[in-house]
Structure 1
Amino acid sequence: MIVSKMKGAIYMKTITYSQVGDYQIPNLMANEPILNSHYARLRYQYLKNNHPGHLFALKAKNQLNQHLKEIEVQAQERMETMMQQLLVKYPAPNKENNQMKWVAYMNNLKSIANEVILKEIINN
């Protein structure tokens, strides 16, 4: 049984089980669909491939979406600050004169920031 508190009241939820061979597996359903944004999908795949026990625990506690939302917010904020910092340190070429050069340069900075985010936030 799972006990959850909502606005001062205690609600009991029963867990049902399915028999699979010799094992009883809990029938767990997420209340919300899994968050479907870029960094959330990357984090979900990382947990699925490298830490399935942690992923199962998040699903069992019904905290997966909350975790994925936190990761998405952290990654987006980090991307914004890193892009600003990189542009201060390495100024972009003039956009009006060299549009293609500017686009290539900005894509390069974005890929640098994305690699740092993957290392620091997603795969951590």
Structure 2
Amino acid sequence: MANRFYDEKNGLWYEKQGDYYLPCLELPNEETEPIGIWGQWHKRYLKQNHRVLYMNLLTNGKLNSYLADIDERAEELFSRQVKQMAEQEGVTEQLKLENQMKWVARMNNIRSRATEIVNTDLIYT
């Protein structure tokens, strides 16, 4: 038998590896979009906690677009939360001009809380 052959029953090519014929499998091509930190965190979470979903997305060629969507939604939620909290707590440009250290401390606190909200609502669910 040849080193490579096509099986019409299942539509796969097989290649000889040592004494065995193994199917020539390839992942489907998918468009690669840049994935930010939120998408990378969610990918790590899926790999560790939802392996079946991760593998299904990977083998269907939808992982990258799924992670890019999660990343975009997370970034929008984060920005919206930071803006709303800053307005509610009176953290303004005027405060930044008057007392920079207080402004930095309050903005860091707001960003930390917004990060926790995004992690709870999108990344680790």
Same fold (TM > 0.5) = yes
Instruction: Tell me by how many angstroms 1:62 deviates.
Output: 0.3
1:35 Cα shift? Answer: 4.0
The residue number in structure 1 matching 2:27 is 28
Higher helix share: 2
Residue 31 of structure 1, CA deviation:
3.8
CA–CA distance in structure 1, aligned partners of residues 83 and 28 of structure 2: 41
Query: Match of 1:106, SS?
Result: helix
Percent of aligned pairs sharing the same letter:
30
What is the alpha-carbon distance in structure 2 between the residues aligned to residue 70 and residue 120 of structure 1?
14
Q: Which moved more, 1:69-78 or 1:88-97?
A: 88-97
Rg larger in structure: 2
The superposition leaves residues 59-117 of structure 1 with CA deviations (integer Å, 9 ceiling, x where unpaired) of 11100111011101111111121112111221126111211111111011011000000
Runs of 4+ in 1 over 2 A off after TM superposition: 14-19, 23-36
- Counterparts of 1:80 and 1:37 in 2: how far apart (Å)? 14
CA distance in 1, matches of 2:14, 2:26: 5
2:98 aligns to what SS in structure 1? coil
Please list every run of 5 or more consecutive structure 2 residues that lacks an aligned counterpart in the other structure: 1-10
Does the CA contact (< 8 Å) of 1:16 and 1:27 recur in 2? no
Cα–Cα, structure 1 residues 31 and 102, in superposed 2: closer, same or farther, change >3 Å? same
Q: Are the counterparts in 1 of residues 35 and 67 from structure 2 also a CA contact under 8 Å?
A: no
Per the normalisation by structure 1, the TM-score is: 0.73
